Amino acid sequence: MSIGHWTLILAGIILAVSPRALFAQAHTEDISASGKTYTVSPGGTGEPINTSVSIRNAGTTAVVNPKIVIGGKDWSSADHILASILTPEMSPEQKARAIWQFARSNRYHYAPPTQGYDGDDPVKLFNAYGYGLCNNVMGAQAVLYERAGLPFRQRHLGAAEHSVVEVYYDDLWHVLDADRDGLYLQWDNRTIAGVDDLIADPALVARAGPAHADLVDIYGRARPGGWSTYGAAGHTMDLTLRPGEELTLNWKSSSGRYHDDTTFNRAPPPVLGDGQLTSPLLPSQPNARQWLVRDSWIRMSGDDGRDLALSPSLIGVTGELVYRVSSPYPIVGTRFEGDFYRAGENDLIEVSAIPDVQSVHLDWLDLASGWYDIAGLNTEADGLVSMWDDGNRPALHPAAAGTTSTLTYRMRRSEGDEPTLIGGDFVRQGPEDVLELAVSTDGTFWTVVWQATSDQVGLFTHQVDITNRIRLFDNFFVQFRFRSSGESWNTGLEALTLEGIEPYEYQVIWSTEGADAADTTGHFSTSLDFTDAIVPQGHPPVYQYLIKIRLYSLTGFMNVGLDDFEAITTVQVNPLSLPGVTLDPIEVTYSDQTEGPHQVEVTHRWEERNGPRPPPAPAAPVSPGQGGSLVWGDEMTFRWQRSVDPDDEPIFLYDVQICDRASCISPLSSIFDLYVHSTDVGADGRLGTADDGPVIDAEPAWTMPFGEWLIPGETYYWRVRARDRLLQSSPWSEPWPFEVGPVPPGTPGPTITLSGISTGSPIEVTSPFVDLSGQADPGAAAVASVAWRTDSGASGTAEGIASWSVANVPLRAGRNVITVTATDVGGQSSSEDIVFTLPRIDYILAEGSTGTFFDLDVAVANPNGEPAPVTFEFLREDGETVTQTDVLAPMSQRTVRVDDIPGLESTAVSTIVTSTEALPLVVERTMFWDGERYGGHSTEAVNSAETRWWFAEGFQGVFDCFLLLVNGNSSAASVTLSFLTDSGEVVTHEVRLAPLARRTIYAGDIPELIGRSFSIEVASDAPIVAERAMYFGGDRFWDGGHASLGTSAPERRWFFAEGATGSFFNTFLLVGNPSASAANIHVTYLLPSGQQIGKDHQVAARGRLTLNLELEDPALADTAVSAIVESDQPIIAERAMYWGSDWREGHDSLGVSASGLRWGLADGRVGTDVDYETFILVANPDEQRVSEVAVSFLTGDGETVQRTYDVPPKTRFSIPVGTFVPELEGKAFGATIESVNGVPIFVERAMYWSASAAWDGGSALPATRLPE
């Protein structure tokens, strides 16, 4: 159980039932310069109970940012927090652990103080509140990770179930859950797991014990994705104390007040501190007027020495002053105290107040949280909803399309010289959507000062200067107007800015004209609580406010006024943040940023305790001894010397930690951070409650049930501290090293099996890669890892453990031995060998046609340093085969014009290219149509026929959709086609394929498919190859078209390097779900800037989903983009792109299921008579590392051109070949694209040409993976 959480609760209970002699004490230090260090010696025999600390400005000049630091504890900003817990020599993991340890130790789990992001800012969370839910500490950790230079992402597990933040280091994501003390190690017992690891294997959570049982279920039901990367940062504890002003901070709240703008209706937080900021105005001081925001017709005794400190300066003229109070802590209470004078009932006094608004900057999270309702600005929202209401972005948008929705504010212009600027970040999908800004001086007659122009579409920032329009008016209205066509969220706000303004309507809190002002003549005092005027129920936290005092007399300017007043502001404080004194004398450092002479008075207050003394630390370990060892096993027992209390009090409990480093920055995991005790906990099972038995001296021993978390042969460190019944603690013992001994002889090890593969005899394949899967079963200990290696030196780690899989194991020509090894947490292992032979490599292209309408090119690239003999087999629909042979030069490319081959001049044809010596090649096919080549499409080859194929895309109606099936067997094949429609209906169709032939299936011949979009599943009783082609357009026969291979295996992850949106391109993701249950998908969009955008969707069982990228997020409205699609079920995914306002052409590409280091392309072209333009798209999904990419361009004449590029992390990079490589002008080429520094990438090729109009033809395909 967490020491942090339980200590707070136990302390409150045990101290309440353990009265001791307490004596109030104080230490006051007079300070005249920053940087003073002094010592406080509390006295007594027990740990003192801190009560308060105060800082008072005792001088006549302002004191800027006063600060008290004890023991290096400085939480005044996010950077200061990090400086207090991190050191420069820490590794990224140590920094992440230190931030986790800080977060888990200095707040507790309780209903949050606010529904907005205020509770997520680490400076506010840890200084002001000290409690919140998982999302609050998630946000705070995220900010600290970011400031520490560690990439992060927040993960949301289920609908309002749990939220965590992941941190990225050592090329992996790791989750350190400070809310639930979750730090879960991978089965290697070294690596902290990430969310996806826990989703894939909830047993990693389960082994942390029953306290995590609910999280096992949550992770088991969670889906991939659901992440964001926002952080609520920027707050500091800056404070300026004016003369006489004093801030007192209390460890225990005296007011019982706390901020709550949520709907939880909870009881007060169990641990609550507060503070009082006392802010007097001292009119008798010279220059007191400088502390006012503004004043008019006011005299002060500091100016003229008269008795009445403050009064109007003229008879019959209202004197007015405005005074500001500011606090770095959230305000929870306000009170005004003043000594007034008025001669008669016709002399008037009025006191009013309002939250201070000088400028407003709201981001998307503020708007989504409803914080656009700003106190003091008379906010009115009509017809608007937030993204939290309906799940649609932008953050604030109309509830319905076709009607005008408005957001209206009433305000005053600033008294200063700054301009009044109104604006924000707007979203507008198209020119038919309306965005306007209007102003009015009376709320009735409006003037439109801005309307979005034709080029202001997508996400854009705009600001309007209205200074001259409102300069002559005391107050005015501004109104944002939205009207969406199509979807209601086509217009809206992502951020809001109001600058150069002041609040409009003060609330009168006391007046001589009020009912409570009777008999208030002469000298009188008043005390006014005006909390409701400053912190309205349900409003966001307030940090500053204004007090306005108005004075008026017709009989004499000294007949009304006041002698003094002060504002007393109650603020909320996290007591864990306060600089407390300890039993031993302690050094205190005071600092501020004040220039020149000043005087400060600091007072520490505590209750001296003359009761039991704290116990000493345990002196030494017993078992294992210093540097000793423990036998590895499920349970290991630790023993230490009993701590002897100096007052013969029983030791109530021992805290125990096990760490992997002597520094003990954090425990190895939270399960190794615990306490042990011997006291009877009573019927409720909880320690520290009223039904506990007598405190019994705790046994100095702990039997650890988590032996499998430790690695044999490794050295760990453990330490212990003692606590008495008052929870006074000893220091930690020194960290004692110990080694975990080897696994005892005879302990059963793991076993490993393979699925669908016989290990008895060699298996012949025709692909340069193989996929493996199987099971790993534990012996006496859990399996930690499954790894593979080949006899040629390649190696890797399988995905999963109990059910494991390996994709793309590389093979070389001839015999290959692959060894798969399962290793348990005790270091024991078992292996299986599988032998594959690779006599040749086949490359199969199902689609192809020649003749008067179609032209067919087959491009082959040889990326090897030696010649590659190849055989071309062309399978005609009539069953005839045409064969050719060739030898490709090393590092070269060749394009075969199939129309020119005798016997293939006019036929539908499939192609098989065989690398007879099993050298890996790249093979692609491009088809053009019409003699002008105004359309075309391309696909890459597959290496083998399969019995199952899937396609994500398909539409019959606007498109003509064809399936191309190739049967390379000597016998016929029976095929079942299943069309999975958007509505969830499945249409089936039976087909018979002749031997050694291809067949074309037209979807228009199946009536149930006409006018429908669908995914396709192909199931055959014999291995075949399948492609899909789609054509569209009406001005010419098939203006455009695209084609794609199918996939023989649905996957949980798909990568797409290419994508573009805007006025020219439309890009769609097509996702098919062949599973019997719904698939939850997360799409990550990578922009050229490095920004990532995540979106979640669901695909119905046996259904399909179409995503229009420009509608996914405002930032995707006009950009180049790559995409990663992740799912909790195996799916298929394609990307289709169309261009031109009339969709003159398009291309489509199947995704690749894994990133890799080396890729190949066969068909690139630059220039010639149709002005080819080829683009190579490279995406780097790594979170932190730059990918150093080397591209070798291979030409038909054997020339190789090389280029290198750096692709930043999380970025898509485009290589326009004609521009970057002018040497290739007029040539066809292939290419190899390799990440030479080991950072995986994924690659596509897009090619466009201009036959009769700009880019009236185009094609795209994914690059082919090559062995590394």
User: What pLDDT shows up at residue 2?
Assistant: 28
Please provide the average confidence, as pLDDT, over all residues in the chain.
90
Q: Specify the 3-state DSSP secondary structure of 1136.
A: strand
Mean pLDDT confidence for 812-832: 94
Any bridge partners for residue 989, and if so which?
A: 977
Bond into 503 cis (ω within 30): no
Can you read off the two tokens belonging to residue 617? 């630390």
Give 1177-1225 pLDDT, tens digit per residue. Answer: 999 988 889 999 999 999 988 889 999 999 999 888 999 999 999 999 9
By mean pLDDT, which of 456-470, 536-550, 680-694 is the weakest? 680-694
Residues whose CB is less than 8 angstroms from the CB of residue 305 and which lie 6 or more positions away in sequence, other chains included: none
Using the predicted structure, report yes or no on whether residue 540 has a pLDDT greater than 70.
yes
Q: How far apart are CA 885 and CA 869, in angstroms?
A: 8
Which pLDDT value is given to residue 7?
37
Question: Given this model, what pLDDT does residue 646 score?
Answer: 93
Characterize the bridge pairing of strands 736-740 and 628-630.
parallel
CA distance 232 to 235: 9
Q: What is the enclosing helix (H) or strand (E) of 140? A: helix 134-147
Model confidence over 473-500: pLDDT tens digits? 878 999 999 999 988 999 999 999 999 9
Domains of the chain: 78-228 (3.10.620.30), 252-356+507-575 (2.60.120), 360-368+377-492 (2.60.120.200), 621-740 (2.60.40.10), 751-838 (2.60.40.10), 840-1043 (2.60.290.11)
pTM of the shown model: 0.85
Residue 1056: pLDDT above 60?
yes
Q: What is the mean pLDDT of residues 60-75?
A: 96
pLDDT at 1128: 85
Tokens at 1005, concatenated: 């011949």
Closest CA to 1165 of 1253, 1243, 1058, 1258: 1258
pLDDT confidence of residue 705: 83
Most confident residue range from 127-131, 677-681, 693-697: 127-131
Residue scoring higher pLDDT (1095 or 620): 620
Confidence at residue 364, expressed as pLDDT on a 0 to 100 scale: 82
Residue 276: its H or E element:
strand 273-281
pLDDT at 430: 85
**What single-letter DSSP state applies at residue 1171?**
T
Q: Does the pLDDT of residue 952 top 80, yes or no?
A: yes
Three-class SS of 725-747: CCCCECCCCCCEEEEECCCCCCC
**pLDDT tens-place string over residues 837-867:** 999 999 999 889 999 888 999 999 999 999 9
C-alpha to C-alpha distances, 649 to 643, 656, 804, 1103, nearest whole angstrom: 11, 20, 56, 70
Q: So what's the pLDDT on residue 21?
A: 61
Share of the chain above pLDDT 90, in %: 67
Helix%, strand%, coil% for the chain, nearest 5: 10, 45, 40
| pLDDT number for residue 9 | 38
Which pLDDT score, from 0 to 100, does residue 581 have? 95
Kindly report, residue by residue over 354-405, the tens digit of the pLDDT: 998 878 888 887 888 788 888 788 889 999 999 888 878 899 999 999 999 9
Strands in 995-1048 per DSSP E: 997-1002, 1012-1032, 1040-1045
Distance separating alpha carbons of residues 236 and 730, to the nearest angstrom: 34
Cis peptide leading into residue 624 (ω within 30°): yes
Q: What sign has the CA pseudo-torsion 968, 969, 974, 975?
A: negative
Q: Say what the pLDDT of residue 4 is.
A: 30
At residue 39, does pLDDT exceed 50? Answer: yes
The predicted structure's pLDDT at residue 20: 54
Helix and strand numbers, DSSP H then E, in the chain: 14, 87
Per-residue pLDDT at 46 exceeds 50: yes
Question: What H or E segment, with its residue span, contains residue 311?
Answer: strand 310-312
Alpha-carbon distance of 359 to 418, in angstroms, equals 11
pLDDT for 974 equals: 95
What does the pLDDT average to over 319-336?
Answer: 96
What pLDDT does residue 6 have? 37
Share of the chain above pLDDT 70, in %: 97
What's the length of the chain?
1268
Q: Are 325 and 551 in contact (CB under 8 A)?
A: no
| Of 260, 299, 287, 255, residue with least CA distance to 568 | 255
State pLDDT tens for residues 907-942: 999 999 999 999 999 999 999 987 778 888 999 999
The dihedral formed by the CA atoms of 331, 335, 341 and 345, expressed in degrees to the nearest 10: 100
Residue 1005 has pLDDT above 70, yes or no: yes
Rounded CA separation 681/687 (Å): 5
Query: With 70 as the cut, is the pLDDT of residue 159 above it?
Result: no
The dihedral region occupied by 1035, where left means phi > 0, alpha psi between -120 and 50, and beta the remainder, is alpha
For residue 497, the model assigns a pLDDT of: 93
> What is the pLDDT, as a whole number, of residue 1036?
67
Tell me, what's the pLDDT at 494?
92
Tens-digit pLDDT profile for residues 210-259: 889 999 999 988 876 666 666 666 789 999 999 999 999 999 999 999 99
Query: What is the band of 1034 on the pLDDT scale with cuts at 50, 70, 90?
Result: low
pLDDT at 473: 85
The separation between CA 41 and the C-alpha centre of its own chain, rounded to angstroms, equals 46
Tell me how far apart the alpha carbons of residues 435 and 482 are, in angstroms, rounded to a whole number.
Answer: 5
